[in-house]
Amino acid sequence: MSDNQSSPPRTWAEIDLSALRHNLAVARDISGQSVMAVLKAAAYGHDIKKIALALDKENIAFFGVASVIEARRIHSTGSKTRIYLLGPTLADERAEIVAQRWTPSISSIEEAQHFDELNSNTTQPPLPPLPVHITVDTGMGRGGFLPDMLDSALDKISTLKNITIEGIGSHLPSADEDREFTLSQFETFKYFIENCEHHFQYTHLANSAGLLDYTSSVTNLCRPGLMLYGISPIEKYQHLLKPVMTLKSKITLIRELPAGHGVSYGRSVVLEKPTRVATVGAGYGDGYPRSVSPEKAAVIIRGVRCPIIGRVTMDQIMIDVTALPEAEIGDEAELFGQQISVTEVAKNANTISWEILTRITPRVTRVYLNE
Ligand SMILES: *Cc1c(COP(=O)(O)O)cnc(C)c1O
């Protein structure tokens, strides 16, 4: 029996695919460019297969993934959208990449030569050259050719007959933090594209923050991740987006606890007055961060913000519902999504929205709306 047949889930993530489509339309509108939808890390916790299927009909240039295993998961859905590997690949992963015609990003001459060799025309009929993209490191420091090595790298790679340079990309480390530096990256990229003899079919630089807050006359492809899932890395654009995931659980118990009673591990909270305490059936075992500070964290029950009391435990969280006498066992509690933003939870937990979404564990049933 599958997880969700016998009884309704206790903790679940509602994933609204119409919100996903809305956010994609926003990315297209704002950038005016083709889209590489970034689906790495289980599509930021939303399930890579489901999201690939939902976006496959949307005329997307590429699905961006981190690894071959993610590419395989997308492939297994029958999706026809091209798959792009965002980072370097290991030697023993490359035969599969070539066989599947996935698109690698190239950071070294060795990678290029190996792809060329693997795609060499020993088959009958011969395989066409494998399209690859060149990565240039304009400041991320994670991969790619340094700008002053790029011309000579392109010269060498262009001589390889079994691969073809289809695109060039770079990445922004601080588009939501450092405007001046990010602008200098756009300039470096532009200068290079304008002065390079090679013609690139695809030129790409912007992640979500890059496409929301900057424009470029030389790029024609953007690589949004976070914003597709409805979270803006830059607060002032949040109103344009619709959060895709809402994490919900239920009240499993309600009790009146007397003043002086401790709540949760470490007894970091000892009640100062009699308190109506609800137990909600989710915890860090579901991916809700244990590191939220209970003084600031809350959940939404019946539309009301109710504070968390004491530490988050693996499977349960205690909530102060003294101000909500109508609360009952079985009531839904929103942990984040529509009324409490992922960004707020991330701040409370001293982390970033990307991590909050990707850490939601497999125990949480994903429920898809508006497919
Ligand atoms: C993850 C990633 C993205 C997407 O970034 P967001 O901030 O989630 O939009 C884009 N490009 C590359 C190379 C990445 O690794």
Phi, psi of 229 (to 5 degrees): -90, 5
* Angle at CA of residue 14, ends 12 and 19, nearest 5°: 160
Residue 240 lies in a domain: no
Is residue 17 domain-resident? no
**For 34-68, what is each residue's pLDDT tens digit?**
999 999 999 999 999 999 999 999 999 999 999 99
71 part of a folded domain? yes
Quick check: bond before 294 cis, omega within 30?
no
For residues 73 and 142, membership in a common domain is answered with yes
Q: Which of 20, 202, 223 for a ligand 1 pocket mutation test, highest count of atoms within 8 Å of Cβ?
A: 223
User: Is there a contact between 205 and 171 (Cβ–Cβ < 8 Å)?
Assistant: yes
**230, 254, 283: which is the final residue of a domain?**
230
For residue 107, what pLDDT is reported? 98
Last residue of a domain, one of 230, 256, 288: 230
Annotated catalytic residues are: 40, 265
Evaluate whether 272 touches 259 at the Cβ level (below 8 Å).
yes
* Domain enclosing residue 308, as ranges: 245-369
Q: Is residue 223 lining ligand 1, measured as CB closer than 6 Å?
A: yes
Residue 27 lies in a domain: no
The pLDDT of residue 27: 98
**DSSP state letter for 238:** G
Same domain, 187 and 296: no
Distance 59 CA to ligand 1 centre (A): 19
pLDDT digits (tens, 9 = 90+) for 358-369: 999 999 999 999
Cα distance between residue 216 and residue 368, in whole Å: 35
Ligand 1 nearest atom to the CA of residue 171, by list position: 13
Examine residue 12 and state whether it is found in any structural domain, yes or no: no
DSSP-assigned states of every residue in 300-369 = EETTEEEEEES---SS-EEEE-TT-TT--TT-EEEEESSSS-HHHHHHHTTS-HHHHHHT--TTSEEEEE
Indicate whether 274 and 303 sit together in one domain. Answer: yes
User: CATH code at 295?
Assistant: 2.40.37.10
Same domain (yes/no): 178, 257: no
Residues of the chain with pLDDT under 50: 1
Tell me, yes or no, whether 48 and 188 share the same domain.
yes
Q: How many domains does the chain have?
A: 2
Residues 180 and 299 in one domain: no
Predicted local distance difference test score (pLDDT) of residue 294: 82
Cα of 171 to ligand 1 centre, how many Å?
8
139, 211: one domain: yes
Domain assignment present for 263: yes
Report whether residue 167 contacts ligand 1, using a CB cutoff of 6 Å. no
- State whether the beta carbon of 207 lies less than 6 angstroms from ligand 1: yes
Cα of 204 vs centre of ligand 1, distance in Å, is 11
Assess whether 225 and 155 both reside in one domain.
yes
Q: Same domain for 190 and 277?
A: no
CA of 187 to the centre of ligand 1 (A): 20
pLDDT of residue 44: 98
Domain containing residue 184: CATH number: 3.20.20.10
Looking at residue 5, its pLDDT comes to 64
